[in-house]
Amino acid sequence: MHDLVIRNGLVVDGTGAEPRPNCSVAMEGEVIVAIGPDADIGPGRREIDATGLLVTPGFVDIHTHYDGQATWDGDLEPSTPHGVTTVVMGNCGVGFAPAKPDEHDFLIELMEGVEDIPGAALSEGISWNWESFPEYLDELERGEYAADVAAMIAHGPLRTYVMGARGADNEPATSDDIARMAQLVQEAIEAGAMGFSTSRTIGHRAMNGEPVPGTFAAEDELFTIGRAMQRAGRGVFEVAPAGLAGEDLVAPKKEVDWICRLADEIERPVTWLMLQNLVEPDEWSELMDLSQAAQDAGHRVIPQVAGRPFGILIGLSTRHRFKDMPSFAPLLEMSFAEQAVAMGDPELKARLIAESAEIIEAFKEAEPMAYEVVNSYERQYTLGDPVDYEPTPDRSIAALAEANGVEPIEELYEQLRDRDGEALLMMPFLGYAHGNGDALYEMLTHPAAVLGLADGGAHANFICDASTPTWMLTHWARDRSRGPKLPLVDVIKKMTADTAALFDLTDRGVLEVGKRADVNVIDHANLRLREPRLVADIPAGGTRLLQAAEGYVATVVRGVVTRENDAFTGHRPGRLVRS
């Protein structure tokens, strides 16, 4: 008698092999003990009928920011409603360990500035029962979660801990500073950290406007830390590379050059974040080829690519150009539905449009980039429900305005009122330079790349890309009409075996006897991704966007059903995973 049997499903095992119909998966405790034709699998104490359903490994999300949230929230939303059974956090050079007591506020402001996680929620929610990174892992180990959690040590808190204000202010590190940072990284890896992360992205700034500590770190600092990982014999080195700095383009090829040399020297995987930009929209292809050449030479240089464009969501529930106008102030205490009704008043509409136009016009000289963003109506699209992150040009505000014979700002205004004020617009900054997902398709199918950048737990009031797994299954594997689809077996492999392998998580990522009993049962034919909705459910009354999916029949973590029919069961078998 098995503990749990998922019976008679279409098994896609994560290896890239062809699907197996009428196949069953049996689990005992935390382990898969049998996979095969339904007739060959004995009974279970509990059984899930997967007839007509898809059965996959649990999804391994390698790019999240639950570093603070994991200390108070075991559900790990918004990732877990989308089949995610393992999360890796500590990305982009930000985190909360190591940390001296007088550094807590700075690290909170750093996380809030870089990842848009409400600072008040972090201040109220984080336990701070640690100083060192090993102590932070011990605190996580005491938690119970709806998915397994794993963490990297981040450059921002590390540099601040070792160098104090000098580190926070991005002053050059001395040889003693570097040696101490390397020592702490080695200790963290040996205690179970999954790796080390750093950010060199100018746009990653604390609330005070200062770049993340480590943004301008010299090569000696980065390579010495890498050598510490080599001595530990484990871990991934993650880089958010330099990119746009004002109007000057920092050549990413220089970044890829030192990343390749680092991977060569330390013999550890180095993964770096790659998105198509608007300035050099085709440069990603050359950078991908450089990474492939490094891989062909035996070095693990892995670009981390996204499953959909990166940008912001515009709506009454998030941010919009009228929100800070004087005439909008009386509406701020209303519900979004009430705001939408009030905005129907023609006089209020005229005042808001006039006030907005006057203020935005002032940006033209002082903030030309902000002016360009706000007025780029051809790059603002209706998102819809179910959502579409690869919208056609006719869904842009500019096109809709032309079709309706109105000015774009009037069209934007009316779109904000749609669906009782719950409608959202999508404005992509990265990954959509040509107005379609063709570049994303090429990145996703490139053999050098790994899927990441879902940012679970981050950008809480602007995006909700933690739902990327569901988008991969619906859009790329089933619904895409603007270009070729991705084979279902490839999509599953990208979210399971490939991501698990990057972090040497050899016990999961595939459905195989002896592997972890992390499994999804999905009604793929009817899977739907809904529009994000703003909720106020985090500490200090903080708000965030959550995005529902319909079609996850069951998610199993360590042999325990954590979600059933798109709802939590209350079971939290997930634990800390150490490297």
Q: What is the pLDDT of residues 471-488, one digit of tens each?
A: 999 999 999 999 999 999
Beta bridge pairs of residue 148: 86
Q: How large is the angle between the packed helices 438-445 and 283-296, nearest 10 degrees?
A: 0
Q: Is the peptide bond before 101 cis (omega within 30 degrees of 0)?
A: no
CA dihedral 280, 285, 291, 292 (to 10 degrees): -170
- Of the pLDDT bands very low, low, confident and very high (cuts 50, 70, 90), residue 366 is confident
Coil vs helix vs strand at 456: strand
- Of the pLDDT bands very low, low, confident and very high (cuts 50, 70, 90), residue 247 is very low
Residue 275's φ and ψ, nearest 5 degrees, are: -135, 145
Lowest mean pLDDT among 214-223, 257-266, 359-368: 359-368
Cα dihedral 494, 499, 501, 507 sign = negative
**The architecture CATH gives domain 2-58+520-568:** Roll (2.30)
DSSP secondary structure string for all residues of 253-275: HHHHHHHHHHHHHH-S-EEEE--
Contact 14, 509 (CB under 8 A): yes
- Of the pLDDT bands very low, low, confident and very high (cuts 50, 70, 90), residue 364 is confident
* pLDDT for res 250: 53
CATH topology for 60-307+444-503? TIM Barrel (3.20.20)
Cα dihedral 371, 387, 55, 557 sign = positive
Q: How large is the angle between the packed helices 219-232 and 175-191, nearest 10 degrees?
A: 30
* Residue range 332-338: mean pLDDT, rounded: 97
Report domain extents, the chain. Answer: 2-58+520-568, 60-307+444-503, 313-430
* pLDDT for res 386: 93
